[in-house]
Amino acid sequence: MIQISFKTASKRTFKKALEAHRPALYKIAWSWCHDVTLAEDLVQDTYARALKNRSQLKDLTKLKPWLARILVNLHADYFRAKKEYVELENKHLMSDLDPITLASREESIQLVRYAISQLNDKQRKIISLIDIAEFSYAEVAEILDIPMGTVMSRINRARQALKEQLENIERQQLEKQIEKKLSQTTPRLRRVK
Amino acid sequence: MTFKKYKSLSDETLNALVDNEFPAAERSELLAHLQTDKVSKERACEISYLKDRVKTAYSDIPQPTSQVKVKIAKRHLYRMVSSVFFALVVVALAVVGLNGTYNSENNRSTTQTASSNDSQRLVVLDPDGRAQNLSQNNSEELRVVFHVSSTTRLSANELLDDIEGLLEQSIKDNQKIRVEVVAHAEGLDLLRERLSTEKPRITALSKQYPELTFVACLNTIDRIKRENGIDVKLISEAESTQSGVAYVVMRLQQGWLYIQV
């Protein structure tokens, strides 16, 4: 008899463990696409695949990085299937973000989100995995399937790029504000007889 | 993680420090170093500030509404129902085909009897441990058709692992075997020159095991050409058939073991 069996943990235990990671996973997905529907869809697909392939996970304590790795692959598959990587990505990211009209209370938050949306995919992913999902460098190396040294150099470059983006946007905003103020305060010339 | 004692710390080291990647002893040493290195200290503060801003920016994000959840749930349900429906159609066709074959064989020769006790019985379990299709192989040769209708890097790799394992085991047991991998719809990516993530492995496996055949669906290739204007190029190991589904049905009628991927 040839038997292909995939049982490791009981399905109920596994599902419970999955649910515990749902908010974190959704946050990662959302930080990549800034789109509620797409993020939820990616998380749902991640769950479906995780359930299907749960036998591959030998250690339940490594569930979160394992799920993140599935999410990374699904995200790449999604854009590869669409074959509209740049256009679609920009459309999703730009839809509700306008740096010039940002309200003051949410300004900093929106500014950072906008700046992150302007990074390339690799930079955005590594920042979200380390800063938002709080994975260690070793876990990120496993999730993205890259050497540890690459993780170190990539996070460094990503943060530098993010810093430059933020500075550019903030400078643009400042110039706009000054321009606006000047146009309001400059006295109109009066003809004197 | 270790760091070299330079006068000024590298950006990578500072990032790792902010990300708490160093063991406690080294971390303390580095923090002490920063007290005497103003440039590095300033840079570390910048990184830390940036990290905090990112964390704050994503601490409260828009959550999916119930409408979105229902929409996605419906889509997943639709996918599931479609695959179940497809599986039922394939099984139904196979049963009809097998009955036809059995009846016609009986008509040809009344001396022939089915000897199910002697045949090898194969049980394939899905991830939930449920048996899928029970297949009986009356010939000495074990014949398995893998039906690939969607694939990703992860599942393609897993599929090839399973196939390799099966071939290895069979050869070891002196069991004659034939394995065919039929790819259609999204599964065709496995055999596409430009998109296949497993090309080197498929080449190696095909060379090593002449019993293994990869078959691509021409209908899918035509559809891609028609809808997207893309001329699909297959990897050199791939053979082709007009309809992948019809091919799988034919194999089922011939008594092959069916595994859906």
- Name the residue among A3, A36, A73 with its Cβ closest to that of B68: A36
- Strand residue runs (E) in chain A: 3-4
Domain A97-184, architecture per CATH: Orthogonal Bundle (1.10)
Residue B124 pLDDT > 70: no
End-to-end, the C-alpha distance of chain B in Å comes to 41
Residue A149 pLDDT > 90: yes
pLDDT in tens, A23-76: 999 999 999 888 888 888 899 889 888 988 888 888 888 899 999 999 999 888
Q: Work out the minimum CA distance from A84 to partner chain B, whole angstroms.
A: 12
- Name the residue among A54, A130, A163 with its Cβ closest to that of B127: A54
Q: What distance in Å separates the CA atoms of residue B139 and residue B120, rounded to the nearest whole number?
A: 9
pLDDT in tens, A84-95: 333 333 343 343
Question: Could you give the angle at the alpha carbon of A52 between the alpha carbons of A47 and A55, nearest 5°?
Answer: 110
Residue B228 pLDDT > 60: yes
> With contacts defined as CB-CB under 8 Å, which chain B residues touch A39?
64
- The interface pTM score, or ipTM, of the predicted complex is 0.74
Residue B33 pLDDT > 60: yes
Indicate the fold that domain B121-260 takes in CATH: Hypothetical Protein Ychn; Chain: A, (3.40.1260)
Query: Cβ of A71: how many Cβ atoms within 10 Å?
Result: 27
Chain mean pLDDT for chain B:
76
Tell me whether B125 touches chain A (CB under 8 Å): yes
Mutate which of B22, B53, B155 to disrupt the A interface (most A C-beta within 10 Å)? Answer: B53
Query: Cβ of A48: how many Cβ atoms within 10 Å?
Result: 15
Per-domain boundaries in chain B: 11-57, 121-260
Q: Does domain A9-96 have CATH number 1.10.1060.10?
A: no
Residue A164 pLDDT > 90: yes
pLDDT in tens, B132-182: 443 444 457 888 899 888 766 667 888 888 888 888 888 888 888 889 999
Per-domain boundaries in chain A: 9-96, 97-184
pLDDT in tens, B38-49: 889 899 999 999
Residue B261 pLDDT > 60: yes
State how far Cα A140 lies from the chain centre. 14
Q: Work out the minimum CA distance from B107 to partner chain A, whole angstroms.
A: 31
* Average pLDDT value for residue range B16-23: 93
Q: How many helices (H) does chain A have, and how many strands (E)?
A: 8, 1
